[in-house]
Amino acid sequence: MPINDLDAIDRNILDTLQEDARMANADLARKVNLSPSPCLRRVRNLEREGYIRHYTALLDPAAIGLPVSVFVQVSLERQVDNALEEFERRIVERPEVMECYLMTGDSDYLLRVVAPDLDSFQHFLLEHLTKIPGVASIKSSFALKQVSYRTALPLGHIAEKAER
């Protein structure tokens, strides 16, 4: 289903599930003004079409002992396919790397890493990140405070496209 085929009800379902994916189908149906059967059909279709990738629980990093959040810029010696593939293969194996983006600009990659303490981050840095072949430079910035954190994607642009 192309993005333009998402109607107001589908967008409402997606918005609602982003806020509470554990909501019972009957409650979801009531919230989006559908009966339960058509609502469930729409949810299953959104899953099948790939709009909903999976459902998950969001944990509080500090509550589970991972209060340190670090943004790491990594530059490689050369941006050739095999170097990029090797870096990416090695980085996805590391559980402390929460996000990894191939970037434009001053660095090749931006990572978000969590750790229980500075020693653990140092261990990750020295024993794992610096040992990946082709890594030329690493710049780390420690997050002092999380000002905003969202997992729900904004869907307003879909409605704007549908209205055009």
Which residues does residue 111 pair with via DSSP β-bridges, in sequence order? Answer: 72, 100
Summarize the confidence of residues 84-96 as an average pLDDT.
97
pLDDT in tens, 4-63: 679 999 999 999 999 999 999 999 999 999 999 999 999 999 999 999 999 999 999 999
pTM above 0.95, yes or no: no
Q: How far apart are CA 59 and CA 47, in angstroms?
A: 23
Where residue 145 falls among pLDDT bands split at 50, 70, 90?
Answer: very high
Give pLDDT, residue 162.
56
Alpha-carbon distances, residue 74 vs 5, 18, 23, 60 (angstroms): 39, 32, 40, 27
- Percent of all residues in the chain with a pLDDT value above 70, rounded to a whole number: 95
- Under a CB-based contact definition with an 8 Å cutoff, are residues 67 and 96 in contact? no
> Is 1.10.10.10 the CATH classification of the domain at 3-57?
yes
CATH 3.30.70.920-classified regions of the chain: 68-142
- Report the CATH number of the 68-142 domain: 3.30.70.920
Q: Where in the chain are all domains bearing CATH 1.10.10.10?
A: 3-57
Cα separation values, 47 from 43, 50, 57, Å: 6, 5, 17
Enumerate the H helices of 32-154 as residue ranges. 36-48, 81-92, 118-127
Task: Say whether pLDDT at 108 is over 80.
Answer: yes
pLDDT at 158 over 60: yes
